Amino acid sequence: MSRWQRYRVTLTTILVKEVLRFSRIWVQTVLPSVITTALYFVIFGRLIGERIGPMDGYPYLDFIVPGLVLMAVITNTYANVVSSFYSSKFSRFIEEMLVSPAPNWVILAGYVAGGVARGLLVGVAVITVAMLFTDIRIHSVGITLVVFLLTAVLFALAGFINAIFANSFDDISIVPTFILTPLTYLGGVFYSIDLLPPFWQSVSLANPILYMINAFRYGLLGVSDIPLGVAFAIVMVFIVGLTLVCLHLLRRGVGIKT
Amino acid sequence: MPVTSAPPSTHADGARSSRVPALAVRGLTKTYRGGFQALKGVDLTVEEGDFFALLGPNGAGKSTLIGIVTSLVNKSAGTVEVFGHDLDRDPEAVKTCLGLVPQEYNFNLFLPVLEVVLNQAGYYGIPRREAMRRAERSLRQLDLWGRRHTEMRRLSGGLKRRTMIARALVHEPRLLILDEPTAGVDIEIRRSMWEFLRRLNREGTTIILTTHYLEEAESLCRDVAIINRGEITERVEMGEMLARLRTETFVLNLKGRIAELPQLDGFVFQHLDDGTLEVEITRDHTINGLFEALSRNGIEVLSLRNKQNRLERLFLDMVDGREAAAREDAR
Ligand SMILES: Nc1ncnc2c1ncn2[C@@H]1O[C@H](COP(=O)(O)OP(=O)(O)OP(=O)(O)O)[C@@H](O)[C@H]1O
Ligand SMILES: [Mg+2]
């Protein structure tokens, strides 16, 4: 059997293991995001949104759909990789992979794919819920999918790095709580940055999540505060950078070998 | 004609096996973060087909050595070759040859037995159908097939250990390394594990084992190395090492009391209390001889037990011996 066939088997094994993991505990992994997002739709969309009026020319509810979906994707992808990889470190079954001939990049790809799978599942669930509240039609399925995929990969990689450095279960919730959530909220989920004074507009531009949300909004609605090309370029730079960091850490055995 | 190095042999052609050792470790050192040096230049060769014991007191560096060979621990210096493959140059080839049964549990407690073994096969790149076939075989061999749907956390300690053996064998490694596989396993399961390992070795798998039971090493292994404080202090055949066990100490429970210590040739007695004696038997005397001599002196024994684990005795002798040698050198 060729080397590549073996790698494919290994990758599939890790992916299936990851999918089974989050499916078994779907009440913890999939359901919460669906409920939270539904609440956002009810409260911000229905109750408050009517008073806010249109944003960027769209009804407020429609405007926030892309951000809410992407927020769920980001949270879930990140959470999946960080908690799964950290558990495998904590309970030592990461060793099953370390003694095997699986190359580091295959292990990384397997975990990233697992995270993306959960992001996809939750993303689809949340979009379905959104369809119940609004009557948006997807502007460009291709762009929507590509932005989803790139965003999910990026945050899966970030979750992986978090897991490598984590030494306790507290360490895996610090980044989501203190960095990810604020960046997402300030990334224009609920508003167009055109509303901000010029100074805060430029500050917002330093937030990578802003680019993803706007690109995703373009995919779903056809409107964006940011040129699409810039958004893609920035996301790609992050993906390449984080991948190199992950591979470097794995090669050195940081956090997983003594 | 110049002899080129032989390609690594496979199970089938044992004839060439003596040329490429199953494991060759040279100048291996490990300094843990914090500066503790757990291995101080270890050299060790294990031939293909051997059943090898790696013995040493707690903290000697056994698990560290095994960890480095199996890619779980980063080495500080030195080289490791497995069937001629260098760990730094071709880690995938090395890992393919190796199976590990670690000292500590390292499986997902919430997965069923079968899934643990299948996942391991998957990490080795074995396609699903073949993996299923092998998992079934290795679980049946270890009497675990009936428990294949049981979650790991619900297994007893002995069954957990056996699952780790089944998992280590699923990719048919040529060198199996077991780090205290029978710790906390009852005698019956231990014996069936011994039988299993013996058969595996007969069928061609090279085995390296660490243990704290001399009986285990004695009954299974042909060659032995002793490691102490990060250094290999002995590398001999089992028989030779057993011969070094100069004396053995027993504790005797007596029927009645004795006032003074018996004086018998070849045996050194010590009072523990009125009804208990300690006796040291040198290698050239037998227990039969001891009892005959005691009977002649009218001393009746109710029960006897080994004072010490013989392996501990050996380690003590070893350390004593070296200290004595060091004192002599100093003079
Ligand atoms: N991660 C670590 N960091 C620092 N020191 C360590 C680490 N792991 C092991 N050591 C130290 O290295 C030495 C060798 O440990 P090792 O586990 O290799 O011993 P061992 O021979 O397997 O002992 P045992 O029979 O108890 O299993 C010990 O003194 C131990 O305290
Ligand atoms: Mg140990």
Domain end residue (candidates: B188, B206, B238): B238
Q: Is A251 on the interface with B (CB under 8 A)?
A: no
Task: Give the domain-ending residue among B238, B259, B274.
Answer: B238
- Three-state SS string over chain B comes to CCCCCCCCCCCCCHHHCCCCCCEEEEEEEEECCCCCEEEEEEEEEECCCCEEEEECCCCCCHHHHHHHHCCCCCCCEEEEEECCEECCCCHHHHHHHEEEECCCCCCCCCCEHHHHHHHHHHHCCCCHHHHHHHHHHHHHHCCCHHHCCCEHHHCCHHHHHHHHHHHHHCCCCCEEEEECCCCCCCHHHHHHHHHHHHHHHHCCCEEEEECCCHHHHHHHCCEEEEEECCEEEEEEEHHHHHHCCCEEEEEEEEECCCCCCCCCCCEEEEEEECCEEEEEEECCCCHHHHHHHHHHCCCEEEEEEECCCHHHHHHHHHHHHHHHHHHHHHC
B87 with B150, same domain? Answer: yes
User: What is the tally of structural domains in chain A?
Assistant: 1
Residue A152 belongs to a domain: yes
Q: Which residues of B touch A114 (CB under 8 A)?
A: none
Residue B234 lies in a domain: yes
- Residues B192 and B314 placed together within one structural domain of the fold: no
| Cα–Cα distance measured from residue A114 to residue A112, given in angstroms and rounded to the nearest whole number | 5
- B123 to A92: CB separation less than 8 angstroms, yes or no: no
pTM of this structure: 0.87
**Which range marks the domain in which residue B276 is found?**
247-330
Rounded to an integer, the average pLDDT of A18-45 is 90
Mean pLDDT of chain B: 87
Q: Is the pLDDT of residue B124 over 80?
A: yes
pLDDT given for residue B43 in this prediction: 97
Section B82-89 average pLDDT: 97
* CATH number of the domain bearing residue B297: 3.30.70.1560
A258 occurs within a structural domain: no
Per-residue pLDDT of B154-163, as tens digits, reads 999 999 999 9
* Residues B262, B165 within the same domain: no
Predicted confidence (pLDDT) per residue in A85-109, tens digit? 999 999 999 999 999 999 999 999 9
**Ligand of minimum distance to the alpha carbon of B178:** 2
Give a yes or no: residue B7 inside a domain: no
Q: Determine, yes or no, domain membership for A105.
A: yes
Q: Note whether A144 contacts B: Cβ–Cβ < 8 A.
A: no
Q: Domain containing A203: what range?
A: 3-252
Same domain, B67 and B162: yes
Least-confidence region, from A54-63, A123-132, B207-216, B311-320 = B311-320
Q: Report yes or no: B267 and B241 within 8 Å, Cβ to Cβ.
A: no
Q: Which of A96, A99, A103 sits opposite B98 (nearest CB)?
A: A99
| Residue with CA closest to ligand 1 atom 30 | B59
Question: Does ipTM top 0.85?
Answer: yes
Say yes or no: B125 and B268 in one domain. no
For the CA of B61, the closest atom of ligand 1 is 18
Q: Please compute the mean of the pLDDT values over residues B256-274 and round it to a whole number.
A: 79
pLDDT reported for residue B6: 43
